[in-house]
Amino acid sequence: MSIRINGARLIKTSTDLSIRPTASKVRAAVFNILQTRIKGANWLDICAGSGAMGAEALVRGASHIVGIEISAIACEIVGKNWQKLARHDQTFQIIKGDAVKTVRKLPPKYFNLVYLDPPYQSDLYEPVLKALPPLLADDALVIAECDRLRPLPDAIGDLVCCDRRLYGHTALVFYRFPH
């Protein structure tokens, strides 16, 4: 299976049915909202799955992408896809591991943009979101994708909701860390 990235580019995806790629209309909406923030950004893609969000960030000019994914097969596919899309001045890393444990090992005050997209029914939202503030650069934005029927709270740990958007069954919750 393939996913179309920013127009004509195709990336491969896993045949694992437990990996749910972010819908194209949601990807388009996220990158329309973030269009002035992507170029030169350090992007963290938690529960990277198909790698589509990180791939879009690469194509749109992010400087560095870090992806976290528990599935070894997905990590291999994402790594190959990002390698195809990355320009010589862009870097990326895909880390196979548990999202909560891995987040705690990442560099402090580094990421401008974070995208969190675990399986909708998982219990990862709260522990991951609570672990993020030390990693966030000034004016960073965290976006959590979730099921609209299981909305996330206005505040989780030190993060505070600054926007919410609905796209069909998907909700996007935007969080900031008020320094």
DSSP labels, the chain: -EEEETTTEEEE--S-TT--PPPHHHHHHHHHHTTTT-TT-EEEEET-TT-HHHHHHHHTT-SEEEEEES-HHHHHHHHHHHHHH--TT-EEEEEES-HHHHHTTSPTT-EEEEEE---TT-S-HHHHHHH-GGGEEEEEEEEEEEETTSPPPSEETTEEEEEEEEETTEEEEEEE---
Q: String of b and e for 49-77 (b: at least 16 CB within 10 Å)?
A: bbbbbbbbbbbbebbbbbbbbbbeebbeb
Domains and CATH numbers, the chain: 2-176 (3.40.50.150)
| More confident: 81 or 116 | 116
In this model, does residue 36 exceed pLDDT 70? yes
User: Across the strands, what pairs with 114?
Assistant: 44, 142
CA distance 152 to 145: 9
C-alpha distances in Å from residue 42, one per residue of 25, 84, 136, 178: 23, 19, 10, 19
Residue 1's pLDDT band, with cuts at 50, 70 and 90, is very low
The pTM for the full model equals 0.91
pLDDT at 2: 47
Q: How confident is the model over 136-150, as pLDDT tens digits?
A: 999 999 999 999 999
**pLDDT higher than 70, residue 5:** no
Contact between residue 172 and residue 26 where contact means Cβ atoms under 8 Å apart: yes
